[in-house]
């Protein structure tokens, strides 16, 4: 009886939810501030729900400078009340004092194995080190502790692979239900979108799809085809849409969209398009499907990392609703988003965004926003 009641309660909200989206930011918080804990700069935020429904945030803690090179910690904070309060920051990795340390990264939750996997790269820029390695750490206790790092280059081969930044995914539908899919990009010359796949809950990884830049492995010019940082999203038909940074502004100052119909094995040229509505200054953006609605977050501007904007699409990204929502008008950079897919009506209402936010520069803070999708009504 109770279940039936819940079902009746849930049904009307679900069916008309899409047309009534009118977001309101409920909970704004600074998770990390550059300069604190003797860390020069926090960048590259990641956010996910854990298997037990807790929120887990990560960021690179760049020890001595704001640059992409240099030595770093991986910082994490965890919330057991859906973002209202957070644990103090702790460091789960420390790369010492190397010149070209670790870079984040993709976080992927395996709902079947109930594990959280974080994939990152070390020595990506080959600056006073060689080769670049793809690394993985895993938590089996909902993000409270982490195992020792595994070198995935032993399995996938040595390549310059920078995962994400953002979330990987576990296939929920056929083909290849339960497969873990993590996508990222290569070096500036050998750039493109590359995916790695695991069919046994992260024990073994293989190389999957490659969408190479043109001309591949050669210096790039402005307007060359240079797909870069990317966010994969599983669609309701089981295909994977990858929303990609258009590094050299090929064709437009907007996002490249690629699609895989074989669970990350290939990214056919026929299925690539440019989303002119998603104007972009060449940045890592966030994308996600929730209850049949596609969401997208980026600094919506052709030339500057400002104006962090949430958009939503009721037709799988073919077009975007007119009433885009501005999360932050000022400097804003990389972002990542998540939501909780439970059977609760409450969880249908919220999405959670983490992003680089500042008053003058994007790298002043890593900030969090809980967004009520129907709160602005």
Ligand X SMILES: *[C@@H]1O[C@H](CO)[C@@H](O)[C@H](O)[C@H]1NC(C)=O
The one catalytic residue among 120, 250, 334, 355: 334
Q: How far apart are CA 66 and CA 87, in angstroms?
A: 25
Nearest-approach distance from CB 50 to ligand X, in angstroms: 25
Q: How far apart are CA 119 and CA 105, in angstroms?
A: 5
CB 253 within 8 A of CB 245: no
To the query of whether residue 94 is one of the catalytic residues in this protein, the response is no
Q: Of 7, 9, 158, 214, which one interacts with ligand X (CB under 6 A)?
A: 158
- 258, β-bridge pairs: 242
Angle at CA 307, nearest 5°, toward 303 and 313? 100
The one catalytic residue among 27, 68, 94, 271: 68
Q: Token pair of 16, please?
A: 């008309």
Nearest-approach distance from CB 278 to ligand X, in angstroms: 9
String marking each residue 286-315 x if it binds ligand X according to CB under 6 A: --------------xx-----x-x------
Q: Token pair of 103, please?
A: 């870079």
To the query of whether residue 356 is one of the catalytic residues in this protein, the response is yes
CB 62 within 8 A of CB 44: no
Looking at beta carbons only, is 15 or 319 nearer to ligand X?
Answer: 319
Looking at beta carbons only, is 68 or 321 nearer to ligand X?
Answer: 321
Looking at beta carbons only, is 173 or 203 nearer to ligand X?
Answer: 203
Nearest-approach distance from CB 115 to ligand X, in angstroms: 15
Number of residues that bind ligand X (CB under 6 A): 14
- Give yes or no for residue 203 binding ligand X (CB under 6 A): yes
Q: How far apart are CA 340 and CA 54, in angstroms?
A: 9
Q: Token pair of 194, please?
A: 């590359």
Q: Name the one residue in this structure whose structure tokens are 């502004």.
A: 249
Nearest-approach distance from CB 118 to ligand X, in angstroms: 15
Stretch near ligand X under the rule CB under 6 A, chosen from 15-23, 30-38, 92-100, 151-159: 151-159
| DSSP type of residue 89 | P
Nearest-approach distance from CB 149 to ligand X, in angstroms: 8
Binders of ligand X in range 342-371 (CB under 6 A): none
Omega prior to 306 cis, within 30 of 0: no
To the query of whether residue 237 is one of the catalytic residues in this protein, the response is no
Q: How far apart are CA 162 and CA 287, in angstroms?
A: 18
Q: Of 24, 126, 154, 214, which one interacts with ligand X (CB under 6 A)?
A: 154
Q: Encode burial over 163-194: b for 16+ CB neighbours within 10 A, e otherwise.
A: bbbbbbbbbeeeebebbbbbbbbbbeeebbbb
Nearest-approach distance from CB 262 to ligand X, in angstroms: 20
Binders of ligand X in range 98-127 (CB under 6 A): 122
- Give yes or no for residue 197 binding ligand X (CB under 6 A): no
String marking each residue 130-149 x if it binds ligand X according to CB under 6 A: -x-x----------------
- Closest C-alpha among 190, 207, 191, 110 to residue 154: 207
Binders of ligand X in range 167-186 (CB under 6 A): none
Cα 23 to Cα 13, 15, 59, 190, distances in angstroms: 15, 17, 26, 40
Stretch near ligand X under the rule CB under 6 A, chosen from 152-160, 164-172, 266-274, 360-368: 152-160
Looking at beta carbons only, is 132 or 244 nearer to ligand X?
Answer: 132
To the query of whether residue 27 is one of the catalytic residues in this protein, the response is no
Looking at beta carbons only, is 53 or 157 nearer to ligand X?
Answer: 157
- Give yes or no for residue 153 binding ligand X (CB under 6 A): yes
- Closest C-alpha among 94, 67, 83, 75 to residue 149: 94
The one catalytic residue among 60, 275, 356, 363: 356
CB 100 within 8 A of CB 86: no
- Give yes or no for residue 204 binding ligand X (CB under 6 A): yes
DSSP string, 134-145: EEEEEESSTTS-
Nearest-approach distance from CB 131 to ligand X, in angstroms: 5
- Give yes or no for residue 252 binding ligand X (CB under 6 A): no
Residues lying near ligand X in the complex (CB under 6 A): 122, 131, 133, 151, 153-154, 158, 203-204, 300-301, 307, 309, 324
Just list the catalytic residues: 68, 229, 334, 356
């Amino acid at each position: 009886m109770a279940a039936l009641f819940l079902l009746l309660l849930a049904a009307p909200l679900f069916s008309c939810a899409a047309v009534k989206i009118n977001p309101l930011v409920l909970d704004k918080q600074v998770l990390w501030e550059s300069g604190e804990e003797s860390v020069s700069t926090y960048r590259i935020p990641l956010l996910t729900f854990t298997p037990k429904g807790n929120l887990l945030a990560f960021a690179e803690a760049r020890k001595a400078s704001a640059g992409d090179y240099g030595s770093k910690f991986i910082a994490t904070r965890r919330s057991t009340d859906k973002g209202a309060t957070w644990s103090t920051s702790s460091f789960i990795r420390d790369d010492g004092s190397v010149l070209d340390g670790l870079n984040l990264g993709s976080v992927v939750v395996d709902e079947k194995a109930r594990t959280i996997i974080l994939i990152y790269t070390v020595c990506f820029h080959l600056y006073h080190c060689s080769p670049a390695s793809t690394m993985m750490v895993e938590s089996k206790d909902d993000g409270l502790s982490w195992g020792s790092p595994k070198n995935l280059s032993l399995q996938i081969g040595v390549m310059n692979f920078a995962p994400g930044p953002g979330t990987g995914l576990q296939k929920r539908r056929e083909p290849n239900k339960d497969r873990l899919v993590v996508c990222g990009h290569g070096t500036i010359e050998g750039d493109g979108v590359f995916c790695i796949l695991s069919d046994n809950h992260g024990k073994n990884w293989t190389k999957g799809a490659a969408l190479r830049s043109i001309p591949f492995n050669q210096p790039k010019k402005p307007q060359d085809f240079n797909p870069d940082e990317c966010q994969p999203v599983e669609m309701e038909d089981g295909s994977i849409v990858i929303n990609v940074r258009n590094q050299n502004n090929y064709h437009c100052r907007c996002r490249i969209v690629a699609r895989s119909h074989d669970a990350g094995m290939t990214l056919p040229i026929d299925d690539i398009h440019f989303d002119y509505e998603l104007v972009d200054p060449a940045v890592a953006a966030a994308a996600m499907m929730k209850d049949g609605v596609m969401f997208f977050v980026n600094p919506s501007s052709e030339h500057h990392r400002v104006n962090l904007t949430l958009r939503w699409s009721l037709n799988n990204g073919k077009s975007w609703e007119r009433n885009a929502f501005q999360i932050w008008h000022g400097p804003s950079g990389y972002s990542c988003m998540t939501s909780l897919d439970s059977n609760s009506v409450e969880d249908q209402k919220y999405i959670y965004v983490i992003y680089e936010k500042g008053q003058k520069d994007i790298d002043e803070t890593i900030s969090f926003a809980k967004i009520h999708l129907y709160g602005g009504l």
